[in-house]
Amino acid sequence: MSDEEVVRRVRAGETALFEVIMRRYNQRLFRVTRSILGNDDEAEDVTQDAYVRAYMHLDQFEGRARFSTWLAKIAVHEALARLRARQRLVEIDASGSVEDTMNLESRTPSPEQELLTHTTRILLEGAVDSLPAAYRSVFMMREVEGLSTAETAVCLDLSEILVKVRLHRARSLLRKRIYAQTGAASAGAFQFLGVRCDRMVSTVLERIQSL
């Protein structure tokens, strides 16, 4: 069935068919919301909220855009709303209106965060080391040591234009190297399958049935 046919039948009262939509778009919405929030659990919560909101407003889908686009926009809206709420909490923390113990906890990295930081540093160092020497020196001076373009040009006896060109190429090479090593560009990244997919479908259907 097409998305539109599923939507038509759900509107007509076949609520259980909404599972077809969820199974079809769980992974896409999870990836979209996670790209905004950077957190698996929050992304799952927000995706559930997006489905419930979409279900409650199915009558507003007019078919002027693809249903998948309409659904994704709802997910993005929900994720951005969650992100703004999170940022407001961070601002409250910064103002000192939250207990110091909470501030201390927020500043203390977890073992998982420490491992990620260490792994990221190793990955970045290896990628920088792989750069051609001419590009590596420019990158180190400009991005790591914080020298200006003019200072870097003087140090390396280059023109400022050449410094900018080499820095641009260094960044491009680093991106390619890091993507190649992490597989972040792969369609297999951030998959949303199995138990997590089943759990979301079950939870959303329960919420819909209680409306």
The full set of domains in the chain, from first to last, is 3-104 (1.10.1740.10), 111-182 (1.10.10.10)
Nearest one of 15, 16, 32, 38 to 74, comparing CA atoms: 32
pLDDT in tens, the chain (211 residues): 899 999 999 999 999 999 999 999 998 888 888 888 888 899 999 999 999 999 999 999 988 878 988 888 898 889 888 888 887 766 665 555 444 433 434 455 666 666 656 667 777 778 888 888 789 878 877 887 777 898 888 777 889 999 999 999 999 998 888 877 766 555 665 667 777 888 888 999 888 888 8
Phi and psi based region of residue 190 (left: phi greater than 0; alpha: psi -120 to 50; beta: remaining): left
Distance (Å, whole) CA 111 – CA 114: 5
Query: What's the pTM value of the predicted model, to 2 decimals?
Result: 0.58
Is residue 31 a contact partner of residue 196, using CB atoms and an 8 Å limit? Answer: no
Task: Please count the other Cβ atoms lying within 10 Å of the Cβ belonging to residue 126.
Answer: 12
